[in-house]
Amino acid sequence: MPTFYGTEINNPLLLGTAQYPSPSVLAESIKLSKVDVVTVSLRRESGGSNAGQDFWNLIKELGVRVLPNTASCYSVKEAVTTAQMAREVFATNWIKLEVIGNADTLQPDVYGLVEAARELTQDGFQVFPYTTEDLVVADKLLQVGCEVLMPWGAPIGSARGLNNEYGLRSLRAHFNEVPIVVDAGIGLPSHAAHAMELGCDAVLLNTAVAKAGDPAAMAKAFSDAVSAGRQAFLSDPIEMSDMACPSTPVIGKAFLS
């Protein structure tokens, strides 16, 4: 099971909490999937009024760990300020750091991301950076203090799965001691299982569950999939081949004319 900043997580599925049809459906999805960590946007909460308190109370009642995020932040200043506010509201140093660079693809601004990560780690945050699969950017993030990498699978909410399998394999090979969480673009349990089969440590998703016809059932399906994918990786699967390889031995078989 993955360990993030010294905290071991029992379930390698991390679940977002936005866009569900109702609080009860969200609660049922969390319960059925048995996730340990959920992501929460500061925009669902408030520091000085009662707005959003019902949502926050629901999350606390479920007993899951909260990973606040800086969703929809487009500048370093905005992301850092949002993270600082989230720490006050949710009482955690964990932060999923998003610095968006493109409004259409929601691709991270990797330059701003590294700068924001440096500021936040110096301020005592434990940063989960939403990044690309770029090796150089990953190295820079680790240099400024990040201990987790969160590369995207595909654009947020696109349900395209893993657009760059080679890139994810390269990340795993180059940073084999660093927890890697595939974040964004996952649409099917098979996508999540494949990410785990590549050696990733966890998968974070939201839209694929929240907007499914039956979110709770889909949440459980994803939880089962990441578990199966992890077990497959640990079991050392066979390599692909361009040629057929008979599963029934041919040695000793009679040759009939």
Report yes or no: 194 and 172 within 8 Å, Cβ to Cβ: no
pLDDT tens column, 133-148: 999 999 999 999 999 9
Longest dimension (CA), the chain: 89
DSSP secondary structure letter of residue 245: -
pTM above 0.85, yes or no: yes
pLDDT tens column, 55-88: 888 888 888 999 999 999 999 999 999 999 999 9
Q: Among all residues, which ones are annotated catalytic?
A: 96
**Positive or negative: CA dihedral 38, 215, 57, 53:** positive
Q: What residues form DSSP beta bridges with 41?
A: 69
Q: How far apart are CA 194 and CA 176, in angstroms?
A: 17
